[in-house]
Amino acid sequence: MKRLWLLGLLCAALLGCWELGDALPCFDKQYEYKGRCCNRCQPGEKLVSECSKTEDSVCARCESGHYQQSWTKEKHCTPHDICESNAGLIVKMEGNATHNTVCQCRAGTHCSDTSCQTCVENQPCQLGSGFVAAKALDRMSSPCEPCAEGTFSNVSSKTEPCHPWTSCEEKGLVVKVKGTNSSDVICELAGRSSLSVLIPIAAAIVTCLVGVCIYCLLPALTPAPVQIKAGKPGENPDTQQPMEQDENVLPVQETLLRGQPVAQEDGKESRISEQEIV
């Protein structure tokens, strides 16, 4: 019994070797059919009938909305993908007989998963980060990326990328303030940078000189205090001194009348009315 089992195993091995040796060596763009090598259909076509002893393989163009991207022996073409607008998809590239339709998410959205059958809204990229379209197309969960050196983003946006810094050299200017990942470079004229330093220094020097001049001239401009001569006690300093008597003024003689002095000019007669005497 054991010998029969070994004999059967040996026959099976020999039969397999015979079949392998009898296989036809067909080329890459051919396939074996009933002991013959038939040609495959080229990209954009499908197989209608296999080859025979007298005829080659019969192929036909893929129908509209279908494609075949490789050499094939298949009798059906693959239908194009449909970009569903309700899912947030739009057509990036129309399909043809050899390529499938390429869909992508609308601006401001990205694929929800690797199959990209639906889209979800992007989270706004913060200041200093920009939207990277390639990451959205590659079905990345976050299409935002920090701005690299030499670029900036000063807005929070779902679609704005990082922008390059302004080139001051191209405009014939010099850098006044260096840019950051959230602000652009600030340029200025080449001579203005030195003036911005010299003007404050000159102003400070002028201010110091004016202060020194005012300090030196202040004592000369201040009036001297008025000295008041001390007088006799009880004497009013504002009282004017009596003016010298005019030479033309005649002397006045005093005459007593009933014990009271009466002034009389010299040279005039002194007449007193009798009524006054009585």
Q: Work out the average pLDDT over 24-39.
A: 90
Domain boundary among 79, 105, 124: 79
Q: Quick one: pLDDT at residue 133?
A: 76
Q: Quick one: pLDDT at residue 75?
A: 95
Same domain, 72 and 113: no
Predicted TM-score (pTM) of this structure = 0.46
Instruction: Round to whole Å and give the CA distance between 4 and 14.
Output: 16
Average pLDDT over the chain, rounded to whole?
77
User: For residue 20, what pLDDT band results from cuts at 50, 70 and 90?
Assistant: very low
* Domain of 187, in residue numbers: 165-202
Q: Quick one: pLDDT at residue 116?
A: 84
Same domain, 125 and 150: yes
Q: Quick one: pLDDT at residue 249?
A: 47
In 229-254, which positions are buried (b, 16+ CB within 10 angstroms) versus exposed (e)? eeeeeeeeeeeeeeeeeeeeeeeeee
Q: Quick one: pLDDT at residue 246?
A: 47
Q: Work out the average pLDDT over 27-45.
A: 93
Same domain, 132 and 174: no
Instruction: Round to whole Å and give the CA distance between 147 and 14.
Output: 69
CB 141 within 8 A of CB 110: yes
Does any domain span residue 7?
no
Same domain, 160 and 89: yes
pLDDT at 81 over 60: yes
Domain count, the chain: 3
139 or 18, greater pLDDT: 139
Same domain, 170 and 159: no
Same domain, 179 and 160: no
CATH of the domain at 133: 2.10.50.10
pLDDT at 19 over 80: no
Q: Quick one: pLDDT at residue 42?
A: 96
Does any domain span residue 10?
no
Least confident of 23-32, 52-61, 128-137, 163-172: 128-137
Going by C-alpha positions, the residue among 155, 242, 139 that lies closest to residue 147 is 155
Q: Quick one: pLDDT at residue 112?
A: 83
pLDDT at 225 over 80: no
Residue where the block lists tokens 């002397």: 251
Cβ within 8 Å of residue 86, ≥6 positions away: none
Does any domain span residue 47?
yes
Least confident of 62-76, 220-234, 252-266: 252-266
The percent of residues above 90 in pLDDT, for the chain, comes to 40
Does any domain span residue 189?
yes
Q: Quick one: pLDDT at residue 222?
A: 64
- Torsion (CA) 34, 40, 44, 46 in degrees, nearest 10: -10
Same domain, 37 and 103: no
Does any domain span residue 72?
yes
Same domain, 44 and 100: no
Q: Quick one: pLDDT at residue 120?
A: 86
pLDDT at 268 over 70: no
pLDDT at 185 over 50: yes
